[in-house]
């Protein structure tokens, strides 16, 4: 630039403007970690209301509150506030040992009383815990020293898994009773790695490291989580240095920026799938099989998701206990044509039905369904796409009135087959769309199966039956893209939760 | 007397409008697809769980019954409790209203300044390349929607030349001494120019994105009015008296030419408030619009109702103020 009086004036004006308005801090020396988060936090109580079952928010909750049992980044359980847990021999009682020496954020001691109270509160229908039906399988909670016991009202083999899943949080009994629900919303405390310093609803939450955290003080003293719901704005935040970490951006943007920033893209527990409703043409097994065989999942992942995804053939991902690699549903369009022909359909006389999908709720959801409809058309399936909001999907699914095919994404961060195949395929469940009696009969005994190995094998058999009969079409396991400044190293969590205490200085 | 009668009539019609809006919004959001209970159903929930949650949120009653319960509460100042935030709706919406008002007013000020300067310059330089340039710029500003301006601004001043903040309303690390949520206003009153600069730095891009299309409309209409006025006899008389062109435009032509623009600004201001919904979302600005989108996504029925009612109140009040201002500024109406 030529040094002229005019250019000098321009430069001075720009510098003055930048100084006056405060240039955003770049990530050279990170004293305060800033995360551009993809959702807002409506409520601080992690055990009641819609927020409690919103998987996207769990990362914020887990920064402040501890769950009964710790879940490690690979989804496996580890001692947390509970150091030991289990049933008695005849499965009529549960026993839990509570960690000693833990304190709440206000300095008061954490005790077994807090655990017993949190469990009893979750089991009380009046508190509005959406997972009450799980917690209420236990009753008569009692605390004695460092031990908590409860009677088993109805045996649920997954009860301890729920202790690191939705609403499985320990809240402070004395503090909550003292300040009430409103006071807790105003000033929440937990035993987690970070304490809430400042909270502006819809804007940000500022967290301060808990020096007394039983798992060790986090690397970053202060963390600000800004709620930036628009993906383009999140990318701009991290690209400009206004934020150090962000997640869930378009894969194209991730690829563009992963060279200049740190990028990590790891598979998470969310999957994409197509529900098949047992109505109309979906009652024809040939049609269902053809639908499943005509989808080239890997090509869809490569072309539409830039390769970020893992093709799946059951509702289990490779990280899940009941994953069975031998169950395969190959891409075989010729076989699909044969099956359709056996039912009297062809490209000239296609089978017709409606498929519902969201648009923009998950990465390339609508585009994937467009691609699938295109692949189906080649073999003699003509599907009409109906776009709906996710709220409508929930309503239609709960009323069992979805179209013959409906795209959805299923989250199962606990990794148990009951919370994937179980709830998605068991007819009486409000989340299930397939109501076949044969499947109900196969799944029924597994709910209360006490022999863990037998239980997992049972679910694998169910998955095999589901795949062989094409009762649902699993598509892919999602990959979560995370971008961070060069000075920050992020450990991804397979649940999809972005956890600041797992972030380190690089 | 005429103005007072007119005011009373407008207040009565405003009340009827609000009741109409309340009835429509209440019934419409219960008819459109999306059940808030279905959205919070966990895997494995039974029919009993669904019934329990439905009753907990008062959705087990008939829609007319729900309406009368809600309307009864509203008359007593209770707009219900947000399903997602679990806090009183009135607290939530009133807490966010100042942010949206400040943003809208700042956008209006920017639009008036930009549009006014464009119109005055265009009139001053009528028939020249400068006017042609202003017309082209106006056309561009009008044809590009505000959300696209927002993305362009983010790219320019957020990423390429990061002068302004991209998201939020204020830097989280700042300690705010405010007692109201009118941050911009209160920072000036407290003479905290450091905070004021930070708040402006957050507001500037969303406000400018909202302002650009409105500025183009103001510029176009005001320039047209000015050009028509410039041909009137009293303006010619002013010229023959020897007044300079700037004096003639600003002191003689502008007072008459501004009235149609004022009406338009009033109408457009209500649209501008509506436009904050998308813009606040893009900039993660913690106003009513951003909250409205979350409320709709989560099917938070009480919160949607509260926000829509508040928007309706805003719209009717702004229209009322514009009409009154017009009546006060227009001598024919003022003396009627």
Instruction: Please write down the HEC assignment for all residues of chain B.
Output: CHHHHHHHHHHHHHHHHHHHHHHHHHHHHHHCCCCHHHHCCCCCCCHHHHHHHHHHCCCCCCHHHHHHHHHHHHHCCCCCECCCCCCEHHHHHHHHHHHHHHHHHHHHHHHHHHHHHHHHHHHHCCCCHHHHHHHHHHHHHHHCCHHHHHHHHHHHHHHHCCCCCCCCCCCCCCCCCCCCCCHHHHHHHCCCHHHHHHHHHHHHHHHHHHHHHHHHHHHHHHHHHHHHHCCCHHHHHHHHCCCCHHHHHHHHHHHHHHHHHHHHHHHHHHHHHHHHHHHHHHCCCCCHHHHHHHHHHCCCHHHHHHHHHHHHHHHHHHHHHHHHHHHHHCHHHHCC
Yes or no, beta carbons of B173 and A206 under 8 Å apart: yes
pLDDT at A165: 93
Neighbours of A198 (CB within 10 A): 16
pLDDT at A21: 45
pLDDT at B43: 61
Yes or no, beta carbons of A50 and B95 under 8 Å apart: no
pLDDT at A3: 45
pLDDT at A10: 47
**Alpha-carbon distances of B136 from B212, B264, B276, rounded to whole Å:** 14, 21, 26
Yes or no, beta carbons of A43 and B154 under 8 Å apart: no
Yes or no, beta carbons of B298 and A42 under 8 Å apart: yes
Cβ atoms of residues A78 and A70 within 8 Å = yes
B155 touches chain A (CB under 8 A): yes
Neighbours of A499 (CB within 10 A): 21
Selected residues 235-274 of chain B with any CB under 8 Å from a CB in chain A: none
Yes or no, beta carbons of B286 and A429 under 8 Å apart: no
Residue B71 lies in a domain: no
Residues 6+ positions from B27 with CB-CB distance below 8 Å: B63, B67
Q: What residues of A are in contact with residue B50 (Cβ under 8 Å)?
A: 398, 430
CATH number at residue B193: 1.10.3720.10
Burial (CB count <10 Å: 0-12, 13-18, 19+), residue B12: exposed
Strand ranges (E), A43-91: 70-71, 77-78, 82-87
Number of domains forming the structure of chain B: 1
Q: What residues of A are in contact with residue B53 (Cβ under 8 Å)?
A: 128, 130
Minimal Cα distance from B150: which residue of A?
A233
Residue B69 lies in a domain: no
pLDDT at A22: 43
B91 touches chain A (CB under 8 A): no
- How far, in Å, CA of B152 to CA of B148, rounded? 6
Query: How far A489 CA lies from chain B's nearest CA (Å)?
Result: 23
pLDDT at B257: 87
pLDDT at B192: 93
Q: What residues of A are in contact with residue B281 (Cβ under 8 Å)?
A: 229-230
Yes or no, beta carbons of B38 and A166 under 8 Å apart: no
How far is Cα of residue A343 from the mean position of the Cα atoms in its chain?
Answer: 39
pLDDT at B281: 92
Residue B86 lies in a domain: no
Phi/psi-derived region of residue B310, left when phi > 0, alpha when psi is between -120 and 50, beta in every other case: alpha
A7 touches chain B (CB under 8 A): no
Q: Which of A53, A198, A389 sits opposite B42 (nearest CB)?
A: A53
pLDDT at A396: 86
- How far, in Å, CA of B214 to CA of B268, rounded? 7
B54 touches chain A (CB under 8 A): no
B71 touches chain A (CB under 8 A): no
Q: What residues of B are in contact with residue A429 (Cβ under 8 Å)?
A: 43-45
Evaluate if pTM is beyond 0.90.
no
Residue B172 lies in a domain: yes
Q: What residues of A are in contact with residue B46 (Cβ under 8 Å)?
A: 133, 428, 430
- Binned at pLDDT 50, 70 and 90, residue B331 comes out as low
B280 touches chain A (CB under 8 A): no
Yes or no, beta carbons of B95 and A20 under 8 Å apart: no
pLDDT cut 70: percent of chain B above it? 95
- How far, in Å, CA of B151 to CA of A274, rounded? 34
A498 bridge partner residues: none
Q: Which two tokens stand for residue A65?
A: 């509150």
Give residue-wise pLDDT tens across range B81-119: 898 888 899 999 999 999 999 999 999 999 999 999 999
Write b or e for each residue in A445-461: b if 16 or more Cβ atoms lie within 10 A of its Cβ, otherwise e. Answer: ebbebeeeeebbebbbe
Q: Which of B43, B85, B294 sits opposite A419 (nearest CB)?
A: B43
Yes or no, beta carbons of B41 and A398 under 8 Å apart: yes
Sign of CA dihedral B142, B146, B147, B152: positive
Residue B253 lies in a domain: yes
- Binned at pLDDT 50, 70 and 90, residue B332 comes out as low
pLDDT at B42: 65
Domain span including residue B291:
94-297
pLDDT at A256: 94
A183 touches chain B (CB under 8 A): no
- How far, in Å, CA of A284 to CA of A286, rounded? 5
Residue B325 lies in a domain: no
Question: Is residue B18 scored above 80 in pLDDT?
Answer: yes
Yes or no, beta carbons of B201 and A22 under 8 Å apart: yes
Query: How far A32 CA lies from chain B's nearest CA (Å)?
Result: 9
Query: How far B300 CA lies from chain A's nearest CA (Å)?
Result: 10
Residue B132 lies in a domain: yes
- How far, in Å, CA of A13 to CA of A15, rounded? 5
B86 touches chain A (CB under 8 A): yes
How is residue A23 annotated by DSSP?
P
Per-residue pLDDT of chain A (506 residues; tens, 9 = 90+): 444 545 544 444 444 444 444 444 444 468 899 999 998 898 999 998 888 888 889 999 999 999 999 999 999 999 999 999 999 999 999 999 999 999 999 999 999 999 999 999 999 988 888 888 899 999 999 999 999 999 999 999 999 999 999 999 999 999 999 999 999 999 999 999 999 999 988 889 999 999 999 999 999 999 999 999 889 899 999 999 999 999 999 999 999 999 999 999 999 999 999 999 999 999 999 999 999 999 999 999 999 999 999 999 999 999 898 999 999 999 999 999 999 999 999 999 999 999 999 988 888 999 999 999 999 999 999 999 999 888 788 888 878 899 999 999 898 888 899 999 998 999 887 778 898 899 999 999 999 899 999 999 999 999 999 999 999 999 999 999 999 999 999 999 999 999 999 999 98
Question: Is residue B327 scored above 80 in pLDDT?
Answer: no
Report how many Cβ contacts below 8 Å link chain A to chain B: 198
Cβ atoms of residues A209 and A503 within 8 Å = no
* Chain B interface, best mutation among A129, A168, A230, by max B CB count within 10 A: A230
Yes or no, beta carbons of B92 and A201 under 8 Å apart: yes
pLDDT at B201: 95
Query: How far A409 CA lies from chain B's nearest CA (Å)?
Result: 13
Residue B289 lies in a domain: yes
């Amino acid at each position: 630039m030529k040094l002229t009086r005019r250019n000098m004036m321009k430069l001075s004006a720009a510098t003055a403007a930048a100084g006056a308005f405060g240039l955003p801090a770049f990530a050279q020396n990170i004293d305060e970690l800033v995360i551009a988060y993809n959702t807002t936090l409506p409520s601080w109580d992690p055990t009641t209301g819609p927020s409690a079952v919103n998987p996207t928010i769990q990362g914020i909750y887990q920064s402040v509150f501890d769950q009964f049992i710790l879940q490690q980044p690979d989804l496996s359980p580890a001692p947390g506030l509970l150091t030991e847990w289990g049933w008695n021999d005849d499965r009529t009682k549960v026993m839990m040992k509570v960690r000693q020496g833990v304190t709440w954020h206000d300095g008061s001691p954490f005790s077994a009383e807090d655990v017993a109270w949190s469990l009893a509160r979750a089991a009380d229908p009046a508190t509005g815990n959406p997972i009450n039906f799980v917690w209420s399988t236990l009753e008569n909670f009692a605390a004695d020293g460092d031990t908590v016991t409860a009677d088993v009202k109805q045996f649920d083999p997954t009860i301890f898994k729920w202790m690191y899943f939705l609403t499985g949080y320990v809240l402070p009994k004395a503090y909550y009773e003292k300040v009430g629900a409103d006071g807790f919303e105003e000033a929440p405390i937990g035993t987690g790695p970070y304490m809430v310093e400042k909270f502006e609803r819809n804007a940000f939450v500022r967290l301060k490291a808990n020096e007394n955290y039983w798992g060790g003080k986090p690397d970053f003293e202060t963390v600000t989580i800004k709620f930036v719901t628009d993906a383009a704005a999140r990318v701009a935040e991290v690209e400009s240095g206004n934020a150090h970490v962000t997640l869930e951006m378009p894969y194209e943007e991730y690829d563009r920026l992963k060279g200049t920033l740190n990028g990590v893209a790891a598979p998470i527990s969310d999957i994409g799938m197509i529900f098949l409703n047992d109505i109309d043409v979906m009652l024809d097994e040939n049609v269902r099989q053809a639908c499943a065989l005509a989808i080239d999942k890997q090509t869809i992942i490569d072309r539409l998701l830039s390769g970020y995804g893992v093709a799946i053939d059951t509702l289990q991902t490779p990280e899940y206990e009941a994953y069975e690699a031998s169950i395969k549903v190959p891409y075989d369009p010729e076989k699909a044509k044969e099956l359709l022909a056996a039912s009297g359909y062809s490209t000239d006389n296609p089978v017709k039905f409606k498929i519902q999908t969201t648009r923009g709720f998950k990465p390339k959801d609508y585009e994937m369904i467009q691609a699938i409809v295109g692949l189906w058309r080649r073999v003699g399936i003509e599907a009409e796409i109906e776009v709906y909001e996710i709220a409508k999907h929930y309503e239609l699914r709960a009323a069992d009135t979805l179209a013959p095919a409906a795209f959805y994404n299923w989250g199962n961060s606990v990794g148990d087959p009951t919370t994937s195949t179980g709830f998605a395929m068991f007819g009486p469940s409000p989340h299930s769309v397939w109501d076949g009696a044969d499947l109900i009969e196969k799944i029924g005994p597994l709910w209360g199966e006490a022999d863990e190995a037998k239980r997992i094998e049972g679910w694998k058999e169910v998955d095999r039956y589901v795949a062989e009969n094409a009762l649902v079409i699993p598509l892919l396991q999602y990959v979560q893209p995370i971008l961070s400044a060069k000075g920050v190293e992020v450990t991804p969590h397979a649940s999809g939760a972005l956890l600041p205490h797992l972030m380190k200085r690089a | 007397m005429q103005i007072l009668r007119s005011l009373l009539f407008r207040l009565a019609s405003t009340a009827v409008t609000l009741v109409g809006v309340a009835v429509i919004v209440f019934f419409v959001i219960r008819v459109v697809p999306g059940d808030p209970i279905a959205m919070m159903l966990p895997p494995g929930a039974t029919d009993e769980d669904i019934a329990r949650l439905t009753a907990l949120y008062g959705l087990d009653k008939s829609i007319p019954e729900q309406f009368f319960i809600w309307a009864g509460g509203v008359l007593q100042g209770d707009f219900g409790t947000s399903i997602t935030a679990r806090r009183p709706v009135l607290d939530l919406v009133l807490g966010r209203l100042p942010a949206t008002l400040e943003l809208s007013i700042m956008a209006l000020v920017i639009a008036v300044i930009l549009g006014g300067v464009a119109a005055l310059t265009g009139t001053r330089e009528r028939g020249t390349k400068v006017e042609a340039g202003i017309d082209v710029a106006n056309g561009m500003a009008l044809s590009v929607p505000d959300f696209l301006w927002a993305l362009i601004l983010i790219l320019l001043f957020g990423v390429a030349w990061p002068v302004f903040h991209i998201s939020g309303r204020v830097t989280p690390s700042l300690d705010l001494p405010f007692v109201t949520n009118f941050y911009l206003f209160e920072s000036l009153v407290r003479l905290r120019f450091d905070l004021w600069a930070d708040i402006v730095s957050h507001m500037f891009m969303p406000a400018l994105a909202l302002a650009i299309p409105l500025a183009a409309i103001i510029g176009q209409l005001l320039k047209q009015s000015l050009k028509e006025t410039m041909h009137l006899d009293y303006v010619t008389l002013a010229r023959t008296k020897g007044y300079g062109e700037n004096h003639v435009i600003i002191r003689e032509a502008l007072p008459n030419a501004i009235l149609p623009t004022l009406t338009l600004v009033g109408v457009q201001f209500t649209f501008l408030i509506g436009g904050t919904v998308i813009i606040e979302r893009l900039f993660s600005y913690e106003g009513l619009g951003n909250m409205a989108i979350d409320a709709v996504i989560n099917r938070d029925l009480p919160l949607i109702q509260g926000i829509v009612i508040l928007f309706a109140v805003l719209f009717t009040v702004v229209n009322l103020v514009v009409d009154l201002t017009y009546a006060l500024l227009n001598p024919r109406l003022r003396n009627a």
